[in-house]
Chains A and B, each alone.
Chain A
Amino acid sequence: MSFTLHGIGVSPGIAIGVARLASHSRIEVAHYVLSQQHLDKETARFDDAIATVRNEMEMLRTQIPVNAPAELPAFLDMHLMILNDSMLSEVPKQLIRSQQCNAEWALTQQMEHLVAQFEEIEDVYLRERKTDVVQVVERVLKVLLGHPDNLPSTESNLADCILVAHDLSPADMIGFKRQQFAAFVTDVGGSTSHTAILARSLNISSVMALHNAHTLIRDNEIIIVDGEQGVVIVDPDDAELEEYQLRQHQWQIEHQKLKRLTTSRAATLDGIEIELHANIELPQDVLSVRESGATGIGLFRSEFLFMNRADLPTEDEQFEAYREVAAAMQGMPVTIRTLDVGADKPLGGLTQHTLNPALGRRAIRLCLAESALFHTQLRALLRASHYGKVKILIPMLSNLVELRLTHAAIERAKASLAADDVPFDPAIEVGGMIEIPAAALMAGAFAERLDFLSIGTNDLIQYTLAIDRADDSVAYLYDPTHPAVLQLISITLRAGEKAGKPVSVCGEMAGDPKLTRLLIGLGLRRFSMQPASLLSVKQQVLKTHIGNNVNVTQKILKASDADKMEGFLSRLNQ
């Protein structure tokens, strides 16, 4: 009987193959009391197990394939250091003596104690290191119990095999790399786990967080892994198999075709040029921007500089980060949004917890209230503008007073730099985010006073439809094609056209290829999105004929029934 499991797709691609179960890693540990005279022997047995695992890991360290991801040696080193840590290699021996318990039990107790301490850490990344501790302990436990290897035995042809495991450690991944599985699925893990990062860099499709795949799937069963949707189909029937074989084939062709689009120019069939920019969060994201063929950065979120720390970043620190990106983009535009915290992105000390943070003192409201903080960021942005085409983007504007105060703050920052004799681009462009319905309705006034506008559709939808994006129970109401949302986008685009100022969309809508034609039809000529979506959107642009879409787009704008939207959209996307 066919059944489907749902998890988190951490690495895209479709694989069809035979399930190979990794041995159960949640090892059952026996618990017994030893007599006094056996304690020396038990601690020696524990030492031997640690030494065996140490040898194993050092051996693996020398066997890392040349083409393995750069993170792999670092992960392995981390595991070796955890193994050699006295909290893991010494403390269990004290437990063996004080409680007269067996080595496995002593080690498990100590592991639970360590994991509990890691769980108290607030930082997500550091907290996740508890999985490294568990993985190291499990390797030692396996040696103590006498079954050393986690992976199924080597077979001649594993190309069509899919590894099913409760959990996989980076050390397991080296064996995995050698054995060339078609995909792997695990019960635990998430997108920040080491194993997920490795899966993406190895380009092997993978689904994690399936909870009980390892108990439900049996060895040798045929399974389908869809790493994009996060779906695993066990024992598929003929129809499902046929469908996924087709989709697998299509995915491979698409993947190849898309890559060839990287350097081609984005223009519609009737010759209208469309600009495709990328959104980034960290300076190092520039690499994927360049790979995607984006012609600029439409949204650089500056929040990363401010998160996960106790103090505020200095002007020099911010300047370095902005300059790095501006220089790396080699003259292509880099649009940097000023600090947008509050709401779902709290900042220690500055933002207060309120019942309704999305409507609270956030983004430009916070910056205008904290003028020293804003002044520092503006100076850093202006200084970076000397090294590339930097543009400033102001989030959450709702009225012209805020805009005037912002302009005044920018002038002050310019004057202070000029007084210090520090170079900057005096003609730096300043744009505003249109994400509050009030701003969209009076987009004309903003367009006249700014150099460009950028529609933040995520917040615009949230505020227009009155849906808290952080509240799951109203998520079903979140609808990017709600007629009211489309009206506001259309108003903003027309206002930009009238004032002769460019307008872009930088929310999730810009990266959804199903909405590309609609947005072009409404008049959008500049998109900014995750680098990963860029080529699919470009492909859609290349197949679009604006002239042919005028009628349907008009109908969509006149429609008031959200239910009809799907029909219109599929006509548009034919």
Chain B
Amino acid sequence: MLQQDVEITNKLGLHARASAKLTQAAGQFQSAIWITRNQRRVNAKSIMGVMMLAAAKGSIIRLEADGSDENQAMETMLALFGDKFGEGE
């Protein structure tokens, strides 16, 4: 199992659109992927779960991936955060 902390740097945080992108990306993998913020742990493949985190810019979240393709899954998720969900700001 892999885990890593990430800071959310895009302007709007995990808003509806970013949540949708994240969920779609997570859905491609066999591995279980979890996001934790303030003790709340949600399935990254669940759009509602991700939106309920209401994670604003500047908040730190913990990513976990567990399964056969966990390396690739983690890499993809980190790239999404690093790219600010393609929002450019």
Contact = CB atoms under 8 A, between A and B. Distances in A.
Interface of A: 74, 77-78, 81-82, 85-88, 114, 117-118, 121-123, 125-126, 129, 133, 308-311, 317, 320
Nearest to A77: B20
Given A85-B46, A87-B49, A310 B54 contact: no
A320 B49 CA distance: 32
B40 to A, nearest CB: 10
Interface stretch (B10-18, B61-69, B74-82): B10-18
Contacts of A310: 56-59
Interface residues on chain B, size class: 20 to 34
Contacts of B16: 78, 125-126, 129
- Report which residue of B15, B48, B49 has the largest number of chain A beta carbons within 10 angstroms of its beta carbon: B48
- Report which residue of B11, B17, B20, B51 has the largest number of chain A beta carbons within 10 angstroms of its beta carbon: B51
A74 to B, nearest CB: 7
Given A74-B17, A81-B20, A126-B16, A121 B54 contact: yes
B43 A78 contact: no
A100 B13 CA distance: 40
A126 B20 contact: no
Contacts of A317: 11, 89
B54 A126 contact: yes
B57 A87 contact: no
21 contacts: A78-B20, A78-B47, A81-B23, A81-B24, A85-B47, A86-B46, A118-B51, A121-B54, A122-B54, A123-B54, A123-B56, A125-B15, A125-B16, A133-B48, A308-B12, A308-B13, A309-B11, A309-B57, A311-B58, A317-B11, A317-B89
B47 A82 contact: yes
Given A85-B47, A121-B52, A123-B15, 20 more contacts: A74-B17, A78-B47, A81-B20, A81-B24, A85-B46, A85-B48, A86-B46, A87-B48, A87-B49, A117-B52, A123-B56, A125-B16, A126-B51, A308-B12, A308-B13, A309-B11, A309-B13, A309-B57, A310-B59, A311-B57
A82 B54 contact: no
Contacts of A78: 16, 20, 47
A309 B89 contact: no
Contacts of B48: 82, 85, 87-88, 114, 118, 133
Interface in B1-50: 11-13, 15-17, 20, 23-24, 43, 45-49
Interface of B: 11-13, 15-17, 20, 23-24, 43, 45-49, 51-52, 54, 56-59, 89
A129 B58 CA distance: 22
A309 B52 contact: no
Contact of A309 (B43, B47, B58): B58
Contacts of B57: 309-311
Contact of A320 (B15, B24, B89): B89
Contacts of A129: 16, 51
A87 B46 contact: yes
B70 to A, nearest CB: 19
B84 to A, nearest CB: 11
Nearest to A120: B52
Given A114-B48, A125-B16, A129-B16, A308 B56 contact: yes
A117 B51 CA distance: 10
A427 to B, nearest CB: 30
Sorted nearest first, the 4 A-B pairs with minimum C-beta distance are A311-B58, A310-B58, A81-B47, A309-B57
B86 to A, nearest CB: 14
Contacts of B13: 308-309
A149 to B, nearest CB: 25
A126 B17 CA distance: 11
A217 to B, nearest CB: 33
A455 B51 CA distance: 41
Nearest to B88: A320
A530 B46 CA distance: 39
A4 to B, nearest CB: 36
- Report which residue of A87, A88, A133, A320 has the largest number of chain B beta carbons within 10 angstroms of its beta carbon: A87
Contacts of B43: 86
A125 B18 CA distance: 13
A309 B10 CA distance: 11
Contacts of B47: 78, 81-82, 85
B61 to A, nearest CB: 13
Contacts of A311: 57-58
Contacts of B20: 77-78, 81
Given A86-B45, A86-B46, A311-B57, A118 B52 contact: yes
A114 B52 CA distance: 9
A317 B11 CA distance: 9
Contacts of B11: 309, 317
Nearest to A320: B89
